[in-house]
């Protein structure tokens, strides 16, 4: 079964061009006029109008001699930018969080009941309501994990919701996944008796395993919800790491002309690709690791992990964590997936690299990042130097001596600036002042010759929500402050970057990361017509104002996919 499934998915990826041609046949011209258009092109940074033919930009100008077009949109002086390209999202999780239940900020009966009511109204009868991660912000005061950890005492009870959920089985979990709560309908299905519905340990684990898999319709509804959110926030491409079965959903939507955000898909585990190869599939991207597929759904990298995360002290550092002297023996942190077996991990990376596959590896701690740079040296030696655009995912803490190793190698720092505003509150306590100098060091990375590719990591973890809204990312990169404007000068302010560089990292930087810099990331003749219009002039306002800014239009491939005139 598994093999058949892979066959259909792989075929789907390589047959997309057929579907595309049918959908976009009529040649149409579309003029955006009277705008303040920031092009991202240093040789021609500002324009007043842009002419689109079908899905491409064919001309831009800075005068008032507007060319004629079938359709005209007056921007009324508003700021237009290239469409945002989010280099790191988990689209399936985001969709399920938007359509399902989000309990991150819930820690009392009233808000719990309210969220359950809202969710039952969204979901058809019979749909399961699962996860939710209740109590995360109560325990951690949103985004914090340091000394202000509170005692967790609120617990849901099925009696609160049994009457509200006669048609929806519910099995929600606490943010740390140590407890779950099931309603009457779910308990019935699971064959468990419990007065309050609280499940723990093996009973919870087995209950979670018994929750039926989502239907195609549910996944489709989740994808639509997530796509609408992207369009609302000016994101015209997402680089997605969802389970492989989601590709079928994207294809289904594309065939119905409803894929309103471009998807660059990457399996989230190295093992998935190797399973495919072991099953006899030849994955061939040709000489360069540019993406397979087409402009709407492309497929180009594989992602793996070399270490864990700092929150759980599983990120790999050279020196112990600053705040766990008792647990010093743990400091090296965990190895994820293949990297637990280093020789095998290296062998697989080398094999994938020689097959023209672009590598994308999660690395948080300074030693983890360093080891990946060593591996990159090995790849140069074994497979020869080439433009491989090795993607360091998170590139979170870099050792001072390693910055010089980035020069001239087209290494991509796939970073999420909003993490700074969230993590800064506890990071210094965890790894100490000195190491923080190399944390989210966007400016130093950029000066070292690294290509920044910004993204959000939407929807975040079971402890924090990371919004898809790229304006939050721009704010974080430019100010290095929390959303409340602290600290006043910014956290390690020498690492702030200017607005234009931040927008570039979120548009052309992300396009460069997928070898698509000739197609996306600028408003320029020949590029795809992915353009967004903001209701606030980012270049003329204080960063705090960007947090409340909204998009008036999102144009993807010459089509308006979102419109709101506020």
Residues forming contacts to Zn ion in the complex (CB under 5 A) are 457
Q: Which is nearer to Zn ion, 246 or 496 (CB)?
A: 246
Which is closer to Zn ion, CB of 222 or CB of 457?
A: 457
Classify 221 as helix, strand or coil. Answer: helix
82 vs 470 by CB, closer to Zn ion: 470
Which are the contacts of 529, defined by CB distance < 8 A and separation ≥ 6? 30, 50, 52, 55, 56, 57, 555, 556, 557, 558
Nearer to Zn ion, 127 or 339 (CB): 339
Residue with tokens 């005139």: 565
Residue (94 or 123) nearer to Zn ion, CB: 94
Would you say 415 or 534 has its CB closer to Zn ion? Answer: 415
For 33, 48, 49, 68, the CA distances from 64, given in Å and listed in that order, are 9, 8, 8, 12
Which residue has 């992915």 as its token pair? 530
Q: How far is the CB of 452 from Zn ion (least distance, A)?
A: 17
- Looking up tokens 């985001």 gives 94
Residues sharing a CB contact under 8 Å with residue 227, sequence separation 6 or more, in sequence order: 253, 258, 259, 260, 261
- Minimum CB–partner distance for residue 90 and Zn ion (Å): 6
Determine the Cα–Cα distance for residues 47 and 61; give it in Å rounded to an integer: 5
Nearest CB to Zn ion, comparing residues 295 and 414: 414
Scored b (16 or more CB within 10 A) or e, 260-279 reads: bbbbbbbbbbbebbbbbbee
Measured from each CB, the residue nearest to Zn ion is 457
Q: Work out how close the CB of 499 gets to Zn ion at its nearest, in angstroms, rounded to a whole number.
A: 25
**Continuous segment of H or E residues that includes residue 130:** strand 129-134
What does DSSP say about strands 451-454 and 71-74: parallel, antiparallel, or unpaired? unpaired
* Burial state string for 183-206 with b = 16 or more CB within 10 A and e = fewer than 16: bbbbbebbebeeeebbbeeeebee
User: Of the two residues 145 and 457, which places its CB atom closer to Zn ion in the complex?
Assistant: 457
Q: Report, in Å, the least distance between residue 394 CB and Zn ion.
A: 8
Q: Rounded to an integer, what distance in angstroms lies between the CA atom of residue 501 and that of residue 509?
A: 9
Q: Which is nearer to Zn ion, 165 or 242 (CB)?
A: 242
- Separation between Cα atoms, residue 340 and residue 175, nearest integer Å: 27
- Tokens representing residue 179 in the block: 């407890």
- 338 or 551: CB nearest Zn ion: 338
Least distance from Zn ion to the Cβ atom of residue 91, Å: 11
Residue pair 222/119 in contact by the 8 Å Cβ criterion: no
Please, what is the minimum distance in Å from the beta carbon of residue 41 to Zn ion? Answer: 30
CB 87 to Zn ion: min, Å = 10
Give the Cα separation of 95 and 240 in Å (integer): 12
Nearest distance in Å: CB 88, Zn ion: 6
Minimum CB separation from Zn ion for residue 455, in Å?
Answer: 8
To the nearest 10 degrees (0 to 180), the angle between helices 270-278 and 2-14 is: 100
Contact 260, 108 (CB under 8 A): no
What one-character DSSP code corresponds to residue 117? H
Closest separation between CB of residue 511 and Zn ion, Å?
Answer: 19
């Amino acid at each position: 079964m598994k093999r058949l499934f892979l066959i259909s998915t792989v075929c789907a990826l390589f047959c997309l061009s057929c579907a595309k041609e049918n959908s976009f046949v009529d040649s149409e011209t579309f003029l955006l006029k009277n705008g303040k258009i920031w092009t991202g092109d240093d040789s021609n940074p500002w324009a007043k109008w842009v002419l689109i033919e079908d899905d491409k930009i064919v001309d831009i100008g800075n005068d008032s001699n507007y060319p004629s077009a079938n359709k005209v949109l007056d921007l009324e002086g508003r700021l237009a930018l290239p469409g945002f390209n989010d280099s790191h999202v988990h689209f399936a999780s985001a969709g399920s969080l938007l359509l399902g239940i989000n309990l991150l900020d819930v820690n009392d009966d009233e808000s719990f009941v309210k969220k359950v009511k809202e969710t039952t109204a969204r979901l058809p009868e019979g749909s399961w309501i699962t996860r939710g991660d209740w109590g995360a912000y109560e325990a951690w005061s949103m985004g914090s994990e340091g000394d202000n950890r509170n005692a967790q005492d609120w617990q849901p009870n099925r009696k609160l919701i049994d009457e509200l959920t006669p048609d929806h089985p519910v099995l929600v979990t606490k943010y740390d996944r140590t407890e779950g709560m099931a309603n009457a309908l779910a308990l019935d299905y699971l064959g468990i008796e419990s007065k309050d519905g609280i499940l723990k340990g093996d009973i919870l684990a087995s209950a979670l395993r018994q929750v039926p898999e989502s239907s195609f319709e549910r996944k489709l509804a989740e994808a639509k919800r997530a796509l609408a959110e992207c369009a609302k926030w000016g994101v015209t491409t997402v680089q997605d790491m969802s389970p492989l079965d989601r590709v079928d959903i994207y294809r289904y939507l594309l065939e119905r002309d409803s894929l309103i955000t471009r998807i660059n898909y990457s399996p989230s585990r190295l093992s998935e690709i190797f399973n495919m190869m072991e099953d006899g599939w030849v994955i061939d991207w040709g000489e360069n690791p540019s993406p397979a597929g087409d402009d709407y759904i492309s497929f180009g990298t594989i992602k793996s992990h070399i270490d864990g995360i700092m929150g759980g002290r599983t990120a790999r550092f050279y020196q112990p964590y600053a705040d766990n002297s008792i647990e010093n023996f743990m400091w090296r942190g965990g190895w994820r997936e293949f990297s637990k077996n280093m020789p095998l991990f290296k062998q697989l990376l080398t094999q994938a690299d020689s097959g023209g596959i672009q590598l994308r590896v999660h690395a948080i701690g300074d030693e983890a990042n360093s080891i990946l740079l060593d591996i990159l040296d090995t790849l140069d030696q074994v497979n020869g130097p080439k433009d491989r655009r090795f993607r360091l995912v998170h590139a979170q803490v870099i050792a001072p001596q390693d910055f010089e190793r980035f020069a001239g190698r087209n290494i991509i720092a796939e970073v999420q600036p909003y993490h700074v505003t969230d993590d800064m509150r506890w990071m210094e306590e965890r790894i100490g002042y000195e190491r923080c100098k190399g944390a989210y060091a966007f400016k130093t990375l950029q000066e070292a010759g690294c290509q920044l590719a910004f993204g959000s990591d939407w929807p975040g973890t079971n402890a924090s929500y990371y919004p898809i809204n790229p304006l939050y990312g721009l704010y974080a990169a430019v100010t290095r402050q929390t959303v409340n404007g602290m600290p006043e000068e910014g956290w390690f302010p020498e690492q702030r970057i200017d607005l234009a560089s931040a927008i570039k990292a979120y548009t052309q930087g992300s396009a460069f990361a997928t070898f698509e810099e000739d197609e996306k990331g600028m408003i320029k003749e020949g590029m795809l017509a992915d353009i967004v219009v903001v209701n606030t002039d980012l270049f003329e306002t204080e960063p705090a104002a960007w947090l409340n800014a909204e998009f008036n239009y999102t144009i993807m491939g010459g089509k308006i996919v979102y419109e709101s005139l506020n």
